[in-house]
A and B are shown apart, each in its own frame.
Chain A
Amino acid sequence: NAGVTQTPKFQVLKTGQSMTLQCAQDMNHEYMSWYRQDPGMGLRLIHYSVGAGITDQGEVPNGYNVSRSTTEDFPLRLLSAAPSQTSVYFCASSYDLAGGLGTTDTQYFGPGTRLTVL
């Protein structure tokens, strides 16, 4: 298993440009999410999905779009990049986040994408 893969590893954008961060998992996980990591802020949830065709907003969704057409893929779109979106982005997946006792609740993170917006 490749686990959770993210592309690209690094990206530099100019203000106003758009791009898509790719995320894929091969563990047949229903739950996938996107986080951004900023110094002193921990990881903040951007968007998440509990299955194909189902997405919802997290803590900091503004400026980002997501879709989930397949179980495996969960791309994150930046519509018009701003310097405030400079961050490290992590995708994660799990079988069942915080499930009941006896369930598998490990959330697996990808290696991250370091994005700089000039």
Chain B
Amino acid sequence: QQQVKQSPQSLIVQKGGIPIINCAYENTAFDYFPWYQQFPGKGPALLIAIRPDVSEKKEGRFTISFNKSAKQFSLHIMDSQPGDSATYFCAAAIQGAQKLVFGQGTRLTINP
């Protein structure tokens, strides 16, 4: 049973476009929602994270939008670049529980 569902599995966008990756969760006790970026042959790295007390968080070209009532959150990448090509994972956790649940991942390709 997948507690965090991520879509799409893969995404191809032209340079400058705005890729959007979506995640949905079931457990309303989740209160921490990070996104990780993974390049081939490397471990995932924390990109940006949000808590349910805010509806949006921006860090540079990366924005998380959070909809608590719909139990959904999404990652937007503004002015996407070929260097953003990577696999992106959303995740969720309960504060203090020390367990991260990951989505299935999205392979993003930004074409020049």
Contacts and interface: CB of A to CB of B under 8 A. Distances in A.
Interface stretch (A11-19, A65-73, A108-116): A108-116
A97 B98 contact: yes
Given A58-B99, A98-B96, A111 B43 contact: yes
Chain B interface helix/strand/loop/mixed: loop
A109 B95 contact: no
Contacts of B100: 33, 43, 45, 97-98, 107
Given A98-B31, A98-B93, A105-B32, A43 B98 contact: no
Contacts of A33: 98, 100
Interface in B38-76: 41-46, 49, 51
A109 B6 CA distance: 21
Contacts of B49: 105
Contacts of B32: 98, 105
Contacts of A110: 43
Contact of A41 (B42, B43, B95, B104): B104
Interface in A13-40: 31, 33, 35, 40
Interface of B: 4, 6, 9, 31-32, 34, 41-46, 49, 51, 89, 93-105
